Structure 1
Amino acid sequence: MDALQQDTASSPGAPGWALDGIDTLMARGAAFFGTRYAIMGGAMSWVSERNLVAALSNAGAFGVIACGAMQPDRLAEEIAATQALTPKPFGVNLITMHPKLDELVQVCLAHKVGHIVFAGGIPPGSAIKAAKDGGAKVICFAPALALAKKLVRSGADALVIEGSEAGGHIGPVSLNVLAQEILPHIRDVPVFVAGGIGRGEAILSYLEMGAAGAQLGTRFVCATESIAHPNFKRAFIRGAARDALPTVQLDERFPVIPVRALQNEGTKRFLEHQAATIRRFLAGEVEKGAAQLDIEHFWAGALRKAVVDGDVENGSLMAGQSVGMVTREQPAAEIVRELVWQAAAALAARRAVSPA
């Protein structure tokens, strides 16, 4: 009996059979990852690096390296360093807009990475084919049912549906709606849910709807193994769901990609910067294209400034609405155990009310 089984068995609200029930519900997702639990770490730039990724995989979850803007040599170094910390499976998240996407895929294959996650757009068919031909499983993000079906036809081995409750760059639809729209209709491949998930009870609900597992990011930012700056972690521990808001766009002529983050001085200055840039455009002082670039470049380097340097007033505090459930710093293994225990306890409570 492992530590989680002992914890569960000792609780009158979560008998051991409930943990077995969670294992059954997670079986497809866990088998896909080759892990104990079908819990996937969200890829967060500057946060999801070797230490957190290895800690999640060692805890029985599935860690994912956030490649972000890394160059091929840098990614190769990060993969090797992660492999030195864990013998367990982990994946690599690649941004489809990266100019060296093909090279990054080859780096993953050369280092025997078993799962490649394509994010930030529809991956080119050539990248999917290269990954699969090299022996890796391909995971793609699907923001709508039609695209989910298209990605499966294109060769995706699994999908992630991420709701607008998530941190960072977000789509317009909540996970609650996406799950209802997509889960009943996609059965050929495992589908993992993401966005605003912070407790095991929510994971259980989506598993019962047909999800193969769940992806969580915000919940793991304050893992002991996370290298995020103490200031960054404190901001998450203090934050509430209502503090994690999407970026505001002032003028439809100058679109702003919505990013959910905790509000700070930088957020206020971004609104002021948008307004000032729009005034300059209307006055004929700057062309539209240059004005758009000026707005887009405001946050350049802002995430690193917050996560690495600890400047939580001027940097970007990307966080999902589940930030209110981050209450303290904990080891990754403890967070994973807590999530599974919560799911098992909820399952036991439901069975007690309505015995099978």
Structure 2
Amino acid sequence: MSMAEGATPRLDALTTKGRAFLGTRHAILAGAMSWVSERHLVSAISNAGGFGVIACGAMPPELLAAEIAATAALTDKPFGVNLITMHPQLMELIAVCRTAGVSHVVLAGGLPPGPAVAAIREFAKLIAFAPNLAVARKLLRSGVDALVIEGSEAGGHIGPVSLAVLAQEILPALPEATIFAAGGIGRGEAIAALVEMGAAGVQLGTRFAASAESIAHEAFKKAFLRAPARDAVASVQLDPRLPVIPVRALRNAGSEAFMAKQREMVAKIEAGDVALAEAQLEIEHFWAGALRRAVIDGDVENGSVMAGQSVGMVTAIEPVADIMHSLVTEAEAALARHMTPDGTTR
């Protein structure tokens, strides 16, 4: 029997809640990565026993509907959709998910609006991001079904606190909640430690972004293979008048271009040429374009090669099924050192 078929009794015992919530073989949720988390990667992750998540990003409703249908054609396993709260057509996108029979919706990019929470909970399980314990409690009170606590080690848009701290702050305080830990996870030993602390499961992005099934350009994947952890750096906010969410990506000329873009927007704000909200939106459009240049066009020097600090653990371009097998095998081996098969401590 292979590991994917069921030989992970200790890991299974500790992730019972997470696996039941997702409806999957393993409580491994895929991070939603714009341009990367589309039908091919999402279906591959779900088919390998994890939980794939479509990154809606800036998609209009009709494009999201097509992506959901195309993903469903490639897998009969559960998968979800990640929606950005600031999307101007958020409620229409939620309606698309409802019509398509989506079972899980992930809301990212800020506190979920009340109407969106209510609409999603009529047909799907709702997952949201909690950057601290106070917000975690607020989200659970508002009706969110599960949380992701994502540390600053993650790739893409990040919060200010590491997963090591978030896990200690939030997991013991909310033992009944369904919480997935994310940020910098690259090996099964970390998964084992986090589920022992009380996580229902984990979320990974970087390992999957460089997988064989990922549609990312070969140059994008090869940049992952070359990069040590220290090359995945967070962007810096130049001026407090222009609040920007930090983004973690591999250091390159694109990083410098973002600094120049911030200086340009600050100058426009000072001159009264743009309002703050417009400036922030333009920053987000900058990131979307820079990410597309790297992922789709393979311009890894001028584009944004978003990656978490676990990038140093990406040593080969592997099939998703092999990545999943490695993760659960490593986790089970780590747990076996001090646990019986039913999940109790020796």
TM-score normalised over the length of structure 2:
0.92
2:108 corresponds to 1:119: yes
**After superposition, where does 1:32-71 map in structure 2 within 5 Å?**
32-71=21-60
CA contact (8 A) 1:242 1:321 kept: yes
Superposed CA offset, 1:333-353 (max 9, x none):
11000000000111123459x
Residue 151 of structure 1 and its aligned partner are, at CA, apart by: 0.7
Superposed CA offset, 1:177-202 (max 9, x none):
11111101113331000001110000
Matched letter for residue 81 of structure 2: V
**After superposition, where does 1:312-351 map in structure 2 within 5 Å?**
312-351=300-339
- CA distance in 2 between counterparts of 1:161 and 1:93 reads 15
Give 1:85's match in structure 2, choosing from 43, 62, 74: 74
- CA distance in 2 between counterparts of 1:128 and 1:288 reads 35
- CA distance in 1 between counterparts of 2:137 and 2:67 reads 33
> Over aligned residues, Cα RMSD in angstroms?
2.2
Unaligned residue ranges in structure 1 (runs of 5+): 7-15
Give 1:98's match in structure 2, choosing from 84, 87, 92: 87
Give the 3-state SS of the residue equivalent to 1:187 in structure 2: coil
CA contact (8 A) 1:142 1:162 kept: yes
Matched letter for residue 134 of structure 2: A
Change (3 A) 1:290 1:154: closer
CA contact (8 A) 2:207 2:314 kept: yes
Give 1:206's match in structure 2, choosing from 167, 172, 194: 194
- CA distance in 1 between counterparts of 2:336 and 2:138 reads 38
Identity across matched positions, percent: 61
Give the structure 2 partner of residue 151 of structure 1. Answer: 139
- CA distance in 2 between counterparts of 1:139 and 1:300 reads 23
- CA distance in 2 between counterparts of 1:93 and 1:188 reads 24
Change (3 A) 1:162 1:128: same
- CA distance in 2 between counterparts of 1:84 and 1:91 reads 14
- CA distance in 2 between counterparts of 1:273 and 1:323 reads 26
Residue 106 of structure 1 and its aligned partner are, at CA, apart by: 1.1
- The worse-fitting range, judged by mean Cα deviation, of 263-272 and 53-62 is 263-272
Unaligned residue ranges in structure 2 (runs of 5+): none
CA contact (8 A) 1:196 1:322 kept: yes
2:158 corresponds to 1:173: no
Superposed CA offset, 1:256-285 (max 9, x none):
32101101111123334545666x579x7x
- CA distance in 2 between counterparts of 1:27 and 1:226 reads 28
Change (3 A) 1:308 1:350: same
**After superposition, where does 1:1-356 map in structure 2 within 5 Å?**
1-4=1-4, 19-134=8-123, 136-275=124-263, 286-287=271-272, 289=274, 293=279, 296=283, 298-351=286-339, 356=346
- CA distance in 2 between counterparts of 1:189 and 1:92 reads 21
Residue 133 of structure 1 and its aligned partner are, at CA, apart by: 1.3
CA contact (8 A) 1:36 1:61 kept: yes
- The worse-fitting range, judged by mean Cα deviation, of 262-271 and 240-249 is 262-271
CA contact (8 A) 1:200 1:338 kept: yes
TM-score normalised over the length of structure 1:
0.90
Give the 3-state SS of the residue equivalent to 1:253 in structure 2: coil
- The worse-fitting range, judged by mean Cα deviation, of 249-258 and 314-323 is 249-258
CA contact (8 A) 2:189 2:334 kept: yes
